[in-house]
Amino acid sequence: MTLHPVVDAIMQAMRGVNFPAFSECSPAEARAALEAMRGAAPPRPIPPLADIRDSRVAENPPVLVRAYLPEGAVQGTIVYMHGGGWVTGDLETSHAPAAALAAFSQCRVVSVDYRLAPEHPYPAALDDVMQVIAWAAAQGGPVLVAGDSAGGNLAAAATLRARATGGPAIAGQILIYPALDPAMESDSHRKNSPLNYILTTEDMRWFWTHYAGTVAHEDMLVAPSLAATLEGLPPAFVAVASHDVLRDEGIAYADRLRDAGVETEIHVYEGMVHGFVAFLGVVDTADRALHDMGGWARSVARRAAPAILPE
């Protein structure tokens, strides 16, 4: 499968700007490069929403979140974690996808500005995420988790930690090209890394090292692929991109979830690269993927507890 023509044009434009590889940067330089990349892209349109509001929740430490409230009856809450390799990214990174997911799922989406490595290595980010999930659960209604890339890792890890500790209850998980396996030995790594579409194996090695060092190969809460069993986890929607180094680990995790008896959907979006949901409003497949996720989340939330949150 070749690249989607619009994605191909975006990749060529990015090469023309000559952004540095993450693996060749310091954390500060990587953050600046991501900011420059975001600044070079046109603003992404978002669907109509009832409200968008930043606030701080929890207390150990307080965590900045951005809540997206859909119009009409609210079916539940989706706690969303942005990507960026645990080292880069913020609430702006996931602004358009989180807003779209709120509109398409009819759920409140709470995007988490978790602490970043290497200043705050594992488990700081996961601790922040668990605090926000507990806060959301205390407000009533079903709670789902979602995230892209490193955020997908945190979403998957949150379900494992909640299972191990007996809560908070998580009704579903949306894992968008999640980073799950620090071994990085899959065919998708071998074949897609040399193509240099957004993310390479060297970039991922750099991210894993900054986030967790050698612990990445030892702890399932760092690397969910290490979990001995996936039984008892909530229903899952796993989305991967055909031209992404992380494709195969997402598929492998989805297969393991199914084998463990977990209700699981796996979607391989052809012609797409890592980070493609950020192309919302520009690439039709990005829009379709977010509609797919939103419809799935709405169904899961309704099954868990229909429309019990205030409008």
Q: Which residues are catalytic?
A: 149, 244, 274
Residues 6+ apart with CB under 8 A from 13: none
Residues 6+ apart with CB under 8 A from 124: 114, 115, 117
Q: What are phi and psi of 199, to 5 degrees?
A: -135, 135
Which ranges in the chain belong to alpha helices (H)?
5-17, 27-40, 95-105, 124-138, 150-165, 187-192, 201-212, 247-259, 284-304
CA distance 128 to 95: 19
Beta bridge partners of 145: 79, 173
Q: What are phi and psi of 201, to 5 degrees?
A: -60, -40
CA distance 224 to 238: 14
Residue 10: which of 301, 278, 294 has the closest Cα? Answer: 278
Tell the residue number behind the tokens 């894993």, with chain if given: 208
Contact 9, 1 (CB under 8 A): no
Residues 6+ apart with CB under 8 A from 269: 239, 240, 241, 242, 276, 285, 288, 289
